Amino acid sequence: MIETERLVLKPLTYDQLLKYIKADGSLEVELNLHASDRTISPELREALEQTILPNVADPSKDYLYSTLWTIISKEANSMVGDLCIIGAPNENGEIEIGYGTYDDFTGRGFMTEAVGGIIHWASLQPSVNAIIAATEKDNIASQVILQKNNFMKIGETETLLNWKLSTIGS
């Protein structure tokens, strides 16, 4: 678990991920949180079913690098977004992150703070040297989150901007 000034980032267990997918309030009940009005995008549902759940179930993998981390506002006592690390560090010590804020909580700086929290956590992991991320070219809010956390744009594709934060922990 990671704690920042306003947030708690909680890595979900396999059973908690199953409740997350149901989106029926059972996860919020287990975590003693207020009900949230979250929806799961088709892309996230596919990632959960095809990649995240199988990787979290694999005892040979460190689930912290595979699971969904729910982002909880301390003040609202509610889930406000999610963040995931997309696999264990690669041969260069890089991890990739993805994230999203629930519609009711956008524009409040929660994700900027959450990404800062995961950066701090990553800086304490000996095998992590850098964090990478990709944003849609038209997703200015996501780009600002990365810029505020000192990521540098390192390239682009037709639809995406690629970002990197090097020298973790220095």
CATH number, residue 110: 3.40.630.30
CA 122 from centroid of its chain's CA atoms: 12
Whether the per-residue pLDDT at 169 is higher than 60: the answer is no
- Tell me, yes or no, whether 116 lies in a domain: yes
Mean pLDDT of all residues belonging to the chain: 94
Please check whether residue 70 is in contact with residue 105, taking contact to mean a CB–CB distance below 8 angstroms.
no
What is the mean predicted confidence (pLDDT) over 121-141? 96
- Tell me, yes or no, whether 74 lies in a domain: yes
- Tell me, yes or no, whether 144 lies in a domain: yes
Residue ranges in 88-159 assigned as alpha helix (H):
110-123, 140-148
Residue range(s) defining the domain that contains residue 127: 2-165
Whether the per-residue pLDDT at 13 is higher than 80: the answer is yes
- Tell me, yes or no, whether 170 lies in a domain: no
- Tell me, yes or no, whether 97 lies in a domain: yes
What is the mean predicted confidence (pLDDT) over 138-144? 96
- Structural domains in the chain (count): 1
